[in-house]
Chains A and B, each alone.
Chain A
Amino acid sequence: MSWAAHEFENYFLQHKTGVKASFFGLALGTAAPDLFTKYFVYNVAPEDAAAFHRGFPGVGFSHSLIFGVVFALLVLRFTGSRSWAVGILIGQWAHVLTDFCDTAGDMPFFPFSIEPVTVSMWKHAAAQGRYGDAAAYYSSLGGVWDFFWLGATLLFARVALTRDYFRRVVIPADPRAWGWLHRKAHLPERALLLIYQGFFFYGAGRMTSWFLLARFEERTPFQPTWGGPDYIGRANDLSDAGWIEVLARTAVGGVLFAAFLWVSWRLFIKRWWERGHDPPIVGEREPGLRAMFGS
């Protein structure tokens, strides 16, 4: 699993979507797969945490693309907000794609394929408990992965952290939510800006704290090697299938998932989408991916 990378992704994605996605939607989407499952992973099934977290049966469906689709559709259906639906969808999909990297991987095309997809960069270590998991992550390439996202955000999406961008893009993309916070919590714009920048702060802060805890309290060795850290003995790949088998099953799952989306679009999603509403700044959404990306 990734840790702070999911906070940094929010700004990267906001920069790519512009006014077409709500920042709160993005943040909820990137957090959702772990928000709904982490407690159970650490407390209910700690001995087989990887299989429970990412596999089937278990809560692995939360790390599938269809979970993002269902969550976004529920929000679209009951609130009518396209910006939130787009934010949740893109955020959750980004989380799924980011979590390919640990040894447990995830099932992107569940339920059409329950084959986990992984590149096994670092060990999924939830079986060590929360602190042991954090120590293992920040002793492996996982910590480097977080650092990569921190750098990518600062290099390519730094503008998304500025007050000017917050005023020009983030508030107009979701005026209801920011306006509600402004009215109900009596927060002026500069306090709202702190809430917006807070997710980046949290990502950088927890990355630093957990790294220091791993070095000086847990005293785990820093082993940023492929598949590390080595001190966690057992790898926890959820499948013993070879890469050709994984590729074939995933490809079939992907085709079935795409077909399912297309049929659902024709049957009801299109109707719900057309009934939905946008903030004035969005104007008429273009078709295809341009409905979600670009200012």
Chain B
Amino acid sequence: MTARDLGSRAAHSSSSPDPWPWWAWVATFTSYVVLGYLTKSVVLNWIVGPLYPVLVMYVLPAAVRRLLGRPAPEAAP
């Protein structure tokens, strides 16, 4: 997908559900709160905090898939 595709998708979007199931959010949130409680400033800061969902829900699974040599799922873009 190119940057132009991104803009085109934005301009011609129709109603669509969020791509992440509720349990993924609950698991990510719980892990963040536990890590926040245990490590405080390590994750409770302006950089790691907002990026935590993309790191845990997208980057980490993608890295694991790559390590295992599995293809990316054919899920929503």
Contacts and interface: CB of A to CB of B under 8 A. Distances in A.
B53 A201 contact: yes
Interface stretch (A89-97, A177-185, A238-246): A177-185
Nearest to A188: B77
Interface residues of A, number: 43
Contacts of B3: 175, 179-180, 182-183
B13 A168 contact: yes
B10 A194 contact: no
A201 B44 contact: no
B33 A191 contact: no
Contacts of B53: 194-195, 197-198, 201
Given A206-B44, A209-B37, A191 B54 contact: yes
A195 B50 contact: yes
B58 interface: yes
A234 interface: no
Contacts of A182: 1, 3, 6
B11 A172 contact: yes
A contact face: mostly helix, strand, loop, or mixed: helix
Contact of A202 (B19, B49, B77): B49
Nearest to A205: B32
B27 to A, nearest CB: 12
B contact face: mostly helix, strand, loop, or mixed: helix
B15 to A, nearest CB: 5
Interface in A89-128: none
A164 interface: yes
Interface string B50-64: 111110011100000
B74 interface: no
A289 B59 CA distance: 40
Contacts of A266: none
Interface string A205-233: 11011101100010000000000000000
A142 to B, nearest CB: 16
Given A188-B77, A189-B6, A206 B50 contact: no
B23 interface: no
A7 B45 CA distance: 12
B23 to A, nearest CB: 15
Contacts of A210: 36, 44
A99 to B, nearest CB: 17
B58 A202 contact: no
Interface in B10-35: 10-11, 13-20, 28-29, 32-33
Interface of A: 7, 27, 31, 35, 130-131, 162-164, 167-168, 171-172, 175, 178-180, 182-183, 187-195, 197-199, 201-202, 204-206, 208-210, 212-213, 217, 281
Interface of B: 1-3, 6-7, 9-11, 13-20, 28-29, 32-33, 36-37, 40-41, 44, 46, 49-54, 57-59, 75-77
Q: Which 10 A-B pairs have the closest CB atoms?
A: A209-B36, A202-B49, A179-B3, A167-B13, A198-B50, A194-B54, A171-B10, A191-B58, A190-B19, A205-B32
Given A171-B10, A182-B6, 15 more contacts: A7-B50, A163-B17, A164-B13, A164-B16, A168-B10, A171-B7, A175-B7, A189-B77, A191-B58, A192-B6, A202-B52, A205-B29, A208-B36, A217-B37, A281-B11
